[in-house]
Amino acid sequence: MSSFVLKIIGIISMLIDHIGFVFYDTLPLRIIGRLAFPIFAFQSVIGFEHTSNKKKHFLKLFLFGLISQIPFSLLYIITKQPMMINVMFTILLGLLSIYTFETFENKINGFIAVFLISIIGEALRVDYGLFGILTIFFFYYFKESKVKSCVAFSLLFILRFILYIIYVDTIDYLFILLATLAALIPICLYNNKEGRKSKYLFYVFYPLHMIILYLIYLFK
C-alpha cells in the first residue's frame, strides 16, 4: 500500500467523520473517522523524514494551520462544541517534538522536551492533544520496527481509553478505541512507496472540505 493510497483512506475517513460531526452526530460515522488521525500522524513522519528543508516544512504547516483554523472554528461554532485548535497544529507540534528530540545528545533530556511539548499542546487544546503529539513522536521513534510502532501506539490509546472512561464511563468509547487501533492495518500494509504524487493533497483538502461542509450547513 503506497503513501498515496494511505492518504486517500485517511481523507475519506476524515470526510465521513466530519459529515457525522456537522450533520448527524451518529456514532457509526464518528467511528469510521477514527482511522484518519493515526494515518495522517504516520504520514507526517514519513514526509518529515524525506523533506530537505525542515524549517520550510514547519512554516508550511503553520500557514495551512492558520488558514484551516477559520473553517475549523466555524464547524465548532455551528455544532456548539468547545473550541479547539485544528490538527495541523497537532502535526506541527508532533514534528517539532521530533526535531527537538534530535537536537539532544542526552536522550533523557530529549524525552523530557518531547513530553513538555505534548503538555503545551494539551494546554492549547490542539486536536487529539497530548496523545496526538505523542502518537507522531512514537511513529518516529519506533520507525525501524512496525511491531514496536504498533505496540507503542496501541498502549498509548489504551491508556487514553482508560483515562477517558474514568471521567465519561461510556461503552461507546470502546468502539472508538477499536476503530482507532484498526488504523494500524493499512499502516502496517505500507510498502515504503510514494505512489501517485500528492504533495499538497491533504493540505488543500483539509480546509477546503470544511468550507464546503459549512456552506452546505448554511444553505441546507
**In angstroms, rounded to a whole number, what is the distance separating the alpha carbons of residues 63 and 86?**
12
Q: How confident is the model at residue 211 (pLDDT cuts 50, 70, 90)?
A: very high
Instruction: Work out how many domains the chain is built from and give that number.
Output: 1
CA of residue 96 relative to chain centroid, distance:
14
Task: Name the nearest CA neighbour of 200 among 11, 1, 9, 21.
Answer: 11
Counting every residue, how long is the chain?
220
Mean pLDDT of the chain: 89
| pLDDT tens readout for residues 36-60 | 999 999 999 998 988 888 999 999 9
**In angstroms, rounded to a whole number, what is the distance separating the alpha carbons of residues 25 and 50?**
37
| pLDDT tens readout for residues 149-178 | 989 988 988 887 877 776 665 666 777 778
β-sheet bridge partners, residue 85: 126
Q: What is the mean pLDDT of residues 206-214?
A: 95
**In angstroms, rounded to a whole number, what is the distance separating the alpha carbons of residues 202 and 40?**
9
The pTM (predicted TM-score) of the whole model is 0.92
Amino acid at position 45, single letter: V
Q: What is the mean pLDDT of residues 202-212?
A: 94
| pLDDT tens readout for residues 68-103 | 999 999 999 998 888 999 999 999 999 999 999 999
- Residues spanned by the domain of 117: 3-219
